Amino acid sequence: MAGVIAQAGFGSFVLAVTDAKPLQVHREHWQQEDPTMNESSQQTATASMYARYIACLNRRAWSELGEFVAADVVHNGRMLGVDGYRAMLEGNFRDIPDLYFNADLVVADESHVASRLRFDCTPIGQFMGVPVNGRRVVFYEHAFYTLRAGKIAEVLSVIDKAAVEALMRP
């Protein structure tokens, strides 16, 4: 979800992080770890990094987030930085305790990833302004990621709010 929830309808977004430890940043660390990496497979490396980023989110392994997200990451036009990005994600997991990221379709080139993310979850209260209140919703997010030095530097994301609304209709 990469925090679009907050951006797109969860109202007040709290950027301040009070309990965050300094994030470890291992530049290019992902390349060293990836057995498929070679000079001619940057596209594969990009997709592989993205898969490990998604796994990081699903493990809520916030101390590893800086391995995937640039220190000055921008999300839907807002300069969050990695701490703000982490705060956004932590907020998402508070609002949707069973949040899980499923990348259904990933298209990658050397410096971009586009991902269709499927969510099947039960937001506690409002979701994008829709009073979900603990009911189950299945919806998609379509996100574009621009990479710089192997890390996510910009995220542009749209969530299918219309689908959530349709699910909540009596």
Binding site for a second copy (CB under 8 A): 8-9, 43, 105, 107-109, 112-114, 116, 128-129, 140-144, 156-162
Give CA separation, 170 vs 133, 149, 166, 167, in Å: 14, 48, 9, 8
CB closer to a second copy, 60 vs 129: 129
Query: Which residue, 23 or 47, has its beta carbon nearer to a second copy?
Result: 47
The least CB distance from residue 138 to a second copy, in Å, is 13
Return the number of the residue (53 or 62) whose C-beta is nearest a second copy: 53
The span from the CA of 21 to the CA of 40, in Å, is 36
Bridge partner residues of 106 (DSSP): 115
Task: Supply the minimum distance, in Å, between the C-beta of residue 8 and a second copy.
Answer: 5
Query: 3-state DSSP call for residue 71?
Result: strand
Nearest to a second copy of 90, 160 (CB atom):
160
User: At closest approach, how far in Å is the CB of 126 from a second copy?
Assistant: 12
Give the list of residues 6+ apart from residue 59 with CB closer than 8 angstroms, or none.
none
Q: Which two tokens stand for residue 154?
A: 């910009």
Contact 164, 137 (CB under 8 A): yes
Please state the closest distance from residue 162 (CB atom) to a second copy, in A: 5
